[in-house]
Amino acid sequence: MSSTLRMIKKVVMLTLFCAHDAGAAAGVTDHAAERDQMVAQQIANRGIKDERVLAAMRKVPRHEFVPESERRHAYRDTPLPIGEGQTISQPYIVALMTELARPEPSDRVLEIGTGSGYQAAVLAQIVEHVYSIEIEPTLAQRATELLQRLGYDNVTVKAGDGYAGWPEHAPFDIVVVTAAPDHIPQPLIEQLKPGGRMIAPVGPVHSTQELRVFEKNADGKVISKSVTPVRFVPLRRRPD
């Protein structure tokens, strides 16, 4: 090999190495391209406009929140199993619920149904703090560890029945319910601040529910509207 050729080879190798390195540093190797595509095709394309929501969906590494066996499907337009018979919602539904909640940086949020922790992480990108309750202790533990590992120190998860809310941290600016009750739990309405928003799928178990937005006005009156039909796993009650 001539010295010029050797030189060219060395430069090419170096360029490749640097390009890879720069990519890793900028985070572009962490499925970022798949997330950009997910946001463009599945989320922005379907009408989600809130820039903070779009940015959060581009940022949170959804593949970390699904089991190893589902990882290659993490950015697909579908819900996925997360174990214990539960599911992580379709990306669009997570984005829609987040946008409907109109999250602000100073907001404190209560989530019912931590599941994988993904919805909590998306909210945590935007708001001050997320309190999240999961009835299945295995999932609560797994989500706690994952969120900690990923550096979400503004999310607090506890194992328990979310029907009763989390009175110690109430009132909340936002309540997001990600398992379907057949009626809205009264404690959750009570723990909502005046001016607060609650997003919940409400309807018969094992059937289609309605995604509803509840808004509490300044004098405590609650107005609700239906947004779209959805299918969520049921909100279970702990037998006691």
CA 63 → CA 59, 98, 161, distances in Å? 11, 19, 27
- CA 87 to CA 198: how far, in whole Å? 21
Decide whether 65 or 214 has the Cβ nearer to ligand SAH: 65
Residues 96-115, one symbol each (x = binds ligand SAH by CB under 6 A, - = not), give ----------------xx-x
Helices then strands (H, E): number in the chain? 7, 9
Residue 42 or 116: the one with the smaller Cβ distance to ligand SAH is 116
88 lies in the site for ligand SAH, by CB under 6 A: yes
Residues 6 or more apart whose CB falls under 8 angstroms from that of 46 comprise: 92
Tell me: does residue 235 bind ligand SAH (CB under 6 A): yes
Beta strands (DSSP E) in 35-171 are: 80-83, 86-88, 108-112, 129-134, 155-159
Q: Per rule CB under 6 A, is residue 233 in the interface with ligand SAH?
A: yes
User: Which string of x and - marks every residue 177-216 that binds ligand SAH (by CB under 6 A)?
Assistant: -xx-------------------------------------
Which residues of this protein are in contact with ligand SAH, per CB under 6 A? 86-89, 112-113, 115-116, 118-119, 133-136, 139, 161-163, 178-179, 233, 235-236
